[in-house]
Amino acid sequence: MTSRYRAPQDAAPRPEGADSPAPRRRTVVRAAAATAVLAGPLAAALPARAAAPAPAFLHGVASGDPLPDGILLWTRVTPTAEATPGSGRGPDTEVSWVVARDRACTDVVAKGSVTARAASDHTVKADVRGLEPATDYWFRFSAGGTDSPVARTRTAPARDADLARLRFGVVSCANWEAGHFAAYRHLAARGDLDAWLHLGDYIYEYASGEYAARGTVVRPHSPAHETVTLADYRLRHATYKTDPDLQALHHAAPVVAIWDDHEFADNAWAGGAVNHTEGAEGTWSARAAAAKQAYFEWMPVRPAIEGTTYRRLRFGKLADLSLLDLRSFRSQQAATGSGSVDDTDRTITGRAQLDWLKAGLAASDTTWRLVGNSVMISPFAVGSLSADLLRPLAELLGLPREGLAVNTDQWDGYTDDRRELLAHLRAHAIRNTVFLTGDIHMAWANDVPVDAGTYPLSPSAATEFVVTSLTSDNLDDVVKVPEGTVSALAAPVIRAANRHVHWVDTDRHGYGVLDITAERAQMDYYTLSDRTDPNATSAWVRSYRTRSGTQKVERTYTPV
């Protein structure tokens, strides 16, 4: 079989309709530093074998976006010592691949070759088709007599398959400078995942030291300056993919990924970002295009509609998964308390994406409708938090420190889109919709109320499971108190002001495991012993489920 390889696409042009100029960031990065192409820091950090004349697979291999008959394979080859990520140097190199039924790759069922070019940062993808559904496969790449690591992948079930269960790892917000990625290792060690979902902030764009672990850099970013150019974003992706635990998870199961703001810049929207200074850091359109190009080069993700990450995957009759892009088309975030959050001309999805989501949910014939959602859709009012908690919570959410009512970077800042979507679910009696969410660096289990003010007297339209950050600072880190201290104080107040919230943990880092059967969808929440420890242990802390047909979350005391 030959590859149906699709070269990474250039980013879509900036969407029309931006309604106000981009806000200026707090600290202006010097233009010279922002445009420098720094391949040197990664070259110095790479293992000694990078200098060898033979090609090397220093960034592992990966697979993603499983289909019933296919899978997308990815790797990056370093053909020569000077061909460091982002450098634009190094020769074109032929890379072959095989897919087999066995780990030794002797029972080969598909093979082909692609060319790694400097123009695509020597990354390659092979979109392999003709495979069997719901089947484990192993694959590897080869170049110049060197073999890559062998990795496991798995195809999706047949469209009409009756499944007993599905199991997905769920992660978000992995900041390199704030810790090690032990959570990835623990997910890889399970050996029972159909796939894993990354809900955004796979990388962070900040300069070294700007956003670390309680202000302390655990391990420095490359490049050291903020990512602005295509070379910068390529090098940052490459740095993350040298992490052994991230490589281990990519070698264990296929990923299904969407982006959030930090793949671009903090609080990104269609026309800019809080962490972008127009002019000093070039134009936003050029920066966003660079970020998108590097993302599609370095991630095993098929570019979807208009070169974005919104797309839909199906897993038999049990579940389909609608994946959202909540950065490319959104209006600028509203000022807190301005009232413009209810403006019908403002959008978080864009008209086309919202119509696509509504149509897909209405047409779905699966038991469960999962939505990969980068920012929280459930309403969040702060209530009567004390000032000593209100200020750090505002800092964590990037909002004004006084008069905090909503997080306008979430669906709370785009209430018309949310009302329209939830009304659609109610009007069409669409049940078993589960939003899977990251971004907020806290763990939540929520009903999604049609009217939060009258809930629970009014109905719930869906449920939401939010996973905490892998490493990025959460509330106890901002306050700099022992883990659990803030949750003990803040969680009861948050729940009292938000009666649809069944649980919130503001303090711990970790990941989730989503287990789905025809009867229920259950999220098991796991936390890490210490994000700064590369050998951190993990432990189960809570489980919540929603039973089929209920649109309500309930606690369960047994992980799956």
Q: Is the model's pLDDT at 150 over the cut of 80?
A: yes
Q: Give the span between the Cα atoms of 234 and 227, in whole angstroms.
A: 9
Task: Give me 133's structure tokens.
Answer: 């559904």
- Determine the angle formed by the axes of helices 284-298 and 230-240, rounding to 10 degrees: 30
Encode pLDDT of 397-435 as tens digits: 554 443 344 688 999 999 999 999 999 999 999 999 999
Q: Is the model's pLDDT at 41 over the cut of 80?
A: no
* pLDDT of res. 305: 76
Task: Give me 546's structure tokens.
Answer: 């929603």
Q: Spell out the residues 6+ positions from residue 298 whose beta carbon is closer than 8 angstroms to its own.
A: 76, 121, 123, 234, 237, 238, 241
CATH architecture of 166-193+303-556: 4-Layer Sandwich (3.60)
Q: Is the model's pLDDT at 478 over the cut of 90?
A: no
First to last CA, the chain: 38
DSSP string, 273-335: -TT--TBBTB-HHHHHHHHHHHHHHHSS----GGGSS-EEEEETTTEEEEE---SSSPPPPPP
* CATH 2.60.40.380 domain position(s) in the chain: 31-154
Confidence of residue 396 (pLDDT cuts 50, 70, 90): low
DSSP state of 538: E
Q: Could you give phi then psi for residue 327, rounded to 5 degrees?
A: -120, -35
Q: Looking at per-residue confidence, does 387 or 367 come out higher?
A: 367
* pLDDT of res. 389: 62
17: closest CA among 340, 263, 283, 332?
A: 332
* pLDDT of res. 53: 66
295: closest CA among 332, 275, 333, 268?
A: 268
Other C-beta atoms lying within 10 Å of the C-beta of residue 31: 14
- State the chain's maximal CA–CA distance in angstroms: 69
Peptide bond into 534 cis (omega under 30): no
Average pLDDT in the chain: 88
Q: Spell out the residues 6+ positions from residue 77 whose beta carbon is closer than 8 angstroms to its own.
A: 55, 56, 57, 93, 95, 116, 122, 124, 141, 143
Cα angle 449, 445, 507; round to 5: 130
Q: For 118-140, b where at least 16 C-beta lie within 10 A, e where not — what string?
A: eebbbbbbbbbeebebbeebbbb
Q: Is the model's pLDDT at 6 over the cut of 50?
A: no
* pLDDT of res. 337: 56
Q: Give the span between the Cα atoms of 344 and 342, in whole angstroms.
A: 6
* pLDDT of res. 114: 98
268: closest CA among 164, 375, 372?
A: 375
* pLDDT of res. 47: 45
* pLDDT of res. 33: 34
* pLDDT of res. 24: 38
Q: Give the span between the Cα atoms of 213 and 78, in whole angstroms.
A: 31
Poorest-confidence range of 9-23, 395-409, 439-453, 528-542? Answer: 9-23
Q: Give the span between the Cα atoms of 424 and 357, in whole angstroms.
A: 10
Q: Looking at per-residue confidence, does 313 or 340 come out higher?
A: 313
Which CATH code, of 3.40.50.300, 2.60.40.380, 3.40.50.2030, 3.30.565.10, is assigned to 31-154? 2.60.40.380
* CATH 3.60.21.70 domain position(s) in the chain: 166-193+303-556
Q: Which amino acid is at 378?
A: S
Encode pLDDT of 236-267 as tens digits: 999 999 999 999 999 999 999 999 999 999 99
Confidence of residue 395 (pLDDT cuts 50, 70, 90): low
Confidence of residue 372 (pLDDT cuts 50, 70, 90): very high
Asked if 471 contacts 213 with a C-beta cutoff of 8 angstroms, the reply is yes
Secondary structure element (H or E) that encloses residue 392, with its range:
helix 387-397
Q: Quick one: average pLDDT of 493-513? A: 93
Q: Give the span between the Cα atoms of 376 and 436, in whole angstroms.
A: 9
Length reported for the chain: 560
* pLDDT of res. 19: 36
Asked if 346 contacts 338 with a C-beta cutoff of 8 angstroms, the reply is no
User: Sheet holding 538-547: strands in order across?
Assistant: 123-128, 70-76, 61-67, 255-257, 195-198, 166-171, 510-516, 520-528, 538-547, 553-556
Q: For 403-438, b where at least 16 C-beta lie within 10 A, e where not — what string?
A: ebebbbbbbbbbbebbeebbebbeeeebebbbbbbb
96: closest CA among 108, 88, 80, 84?
A: 108
Percentage of residues in the chain having pLDDT higher than 70: 85
Q: Is the model's pLDDT at 43 over the cut of 50?
A: no
Q: Give the span between the Cα atoms of 39 and 42, in whole angstroms.
A: 6
Asked if 504 contacts 495 with a C-beta cutoff of 8 angstroms, the reply is yes
* pLDDT of res. 486: 83
Confidence of residue 45 (pLDDT cuts 50, 70, 90): very low
314 to 68, 256, 367: CA distances (angstroms) = 8, 12, 11
Poorest-confidence range of 3-7, 42-46, 500-504? Answer: 3-7
Q: Is the model's pLDDT at 229 over the cut of 90?
A: yes
Encode pLDDT of 285-339 as tens digits: 999 999 999 999 999 999 887 789 999 999 999 999 999 999 999 999 987 655 6
* pLDDT of res. 83: 98
Q: Give the span between the Cα atoms of 87 and 91, in whole angstroms.
A: 12
Q: Is the model's pLDDT at 471 over the cut of 90?
A: yes
555: closest CA among 459, 445, 467?
A: 445
Asked if 74 contacts 123 with a C-beta cutoff of 8 angstroms, the reply is yes
Q: Is the model's pLDDT at 32 over the cut of 70?
A: no
261 to 256, 406, 444: CA distances (angstroms) = 17, 18, 20
